[in-house]
A and B are shown apart, each in its own frame.
Chain A
Amino acid sequence: MLKKLTSKKTTYHYKSLSDKELVILYRRDNNSEAFNELFTRYQSKIYSYIYSMVHHPDIANDLFQDTFTKVITKMDKNYNEEGKWIAWVMRIAHNATIDYLRKAKRFVNITASKSEDEGTDFFHRVEDEGSLNAAELYIQQEDKKRMFKHISRLPEDQRAVVMLRHYDELSFKEIAEITGVSINTALGRMRYALINLRKYFEEEQPSENDHAL
């Protein structure tokens, strides 16, 4: 792999390169195009994770920017190429988010202050998923909104495990490392998260039936 990436000025087909190769190009050759490709691949997953944890667009923007400032400045020293790059970035994003939530809890209960309108901006920026007609699109949007609300009701530690698994497809070993717990604890949190979500869906059923009547 390293032999394939020459240090001379070469035009690469960045989309075909692996994360590891892109990281090498950025670290060794200061190739900003390689970083652009890495960023494009993962920005929505990282941003969605942060947003799902804080539920506020401005705060999510700040935390997202802080995360990437650390990624850019500390990648040379702190990132070990043996591990997945996205797992390393997610650890930074997770730590930034948890730090923010801990600080915020000292002053206000953010879950209590959440309004119904929050998240509107989020759903306006949801990535387009193809050619759906207006009715289908509306149903899908409503479904997504509902699901997002359910997930936002989960306790932070459970929500973090669900989102890290959902957005970044990380293994439980990686999730355990990022969140600083054992694999069994991470699995347990996922179990409780699924039990809670099931409960929320069941709570939702009667109200949907009421609307139908």
Chain B
Amino acid sequence: MHSNQTDVIRYVMDEMDPSERLTFEKKLLSDENLLIEVESFKNTWKRTHSVPKVSAPKIVQQQILSQALTHADAKSNTTLISIISTHKYKIAAGFVLIVTALFSWGPKGVLEQTSSLVSNNNDTERRLESSVTNSKDRLELGFENNGQNNVQDKSLKPWIDNNQVIRFAGTTDLELTAQPSLNLSSEYSNKLRLVNDKTGYSSQSRKILLTGNTP
């Protein structure tokens, strides 16, 4: 189309920039036919403004709005799923990391706790054993577990103090259900009685100290 013809429409429809508009208006002043054409188009366009606007029927409007609401609800419900599916690798990696951390910490902690208990017991045992080995005299002592064959013998040697009293000290493992039986070879042991030594004993390591002296 001729540029002059498009300029007329652009001028009537107010689509020109200010400088173009000024130039065109100057041209209008010198061209009467162009001015008549512009005015004619302006009037015709003005008359089209009376073309009415009409709303869609209410029922159609309601259907569309409820459709939009349903769509929005469905979208918000799937948002969580989509987040999970979008970040599934990150979530899986995070889960693996947490599980690994728990496993690496858990058994270690348990082991540490167990080892500390074991070391406590060992210390107690060591202390008791040393007390036994430091004693001057030893005697043979055995505990029998009724119904079982695991008999543990410890050698304890008696010693005599300044008051001519026979004394001995030592430890031995004892099952809780076990009935202790003393197999002393000497007649001196007839008056010996079994005493509980509460010092240094724990529930994990029930032991009995045989001594003539109350601790």
Contact A188 B1 (CB under 8 A): yes
| B122 located at the interface, meaning its Cβ lies under 8 Å from any Cβ of chain A in the complex | no
**Are B52's CB and A48's CB within 8 A?**
yes
User: Given the complex, which residues of A lie within 8 Å of B68, measured CB to CB?
Assistant: 26, 32, 35-36, 39, 68, 72
A64-B63 Cα distance, complex, nearest whole Å: 11
B185 in contact (CB, < 8 A): no
Bound-state Cα–Cα, A30 to B13, Å: 38
Please, what's the 1-or-0 string for B3-16, where 1 marks a CB less than 8 Å from any CB in chain A? 00110111011010
On whether the beta carbons of B52 and A126 are closer than 8 Å, the reply is yes
A73 at the interface (CB under 8 A from B): yes
B163 to chain A, nearest CB (A): 89
B72 with A32: CB separation less than 8 A: yes
Q: Contacts A32-B68, A39-B65, A65-B60 given: A126-B54 contact, CB under 8 Å?
A: yes
Tell me if A100 is interfacial: C-beta within 8 Å of chain B: no
Q: Report whether over half of chain A's contact residues are helix, strand or loop; otherwise say mixed.
A: helix
State whether the Cβ of A103 lies closer than 8 Å to any Cβ in chain B. no
Please tell me the number of chain A residues within 8 Å of chain B, measured between CB atoms.
Answer: 52
* Given A191-B9, A201-B44, A30-B75 contact (CB < 8 Å): yes
One of A11-19, A105-113, A130-138, A144-152 at the interface = A144-152
Q: Is the CB of B55 within 8 A of A194?
A: no
Identify A73's interface contact among B1, B48, B71, CB under 8 A.
B71
Say yes or no: B69 contacts A65, CB within 8 Å.
no
Provide the residues of chain A in CB contact with B67, threshold 8 Å: 68-69, 72
Contact A127 B55 (CB under 8 A): yes
Residue A79 CB within 8 A of the other chain: no
A45 with B48: CB separation less than 8 A: no
Contacting residue for A48 out of B15, B41, B53, CB 8 A:
B53
14 A–B pairs (Cβ distance < 8 Å), ordered by A: A30-B75, A32-B65, A44-B55, A52-B51, A60-B56, A72-B67, A125-B54, A127-B52, A144-B50, A144-B52, A151-B48, A172-B10, A187-B6, A194-B12
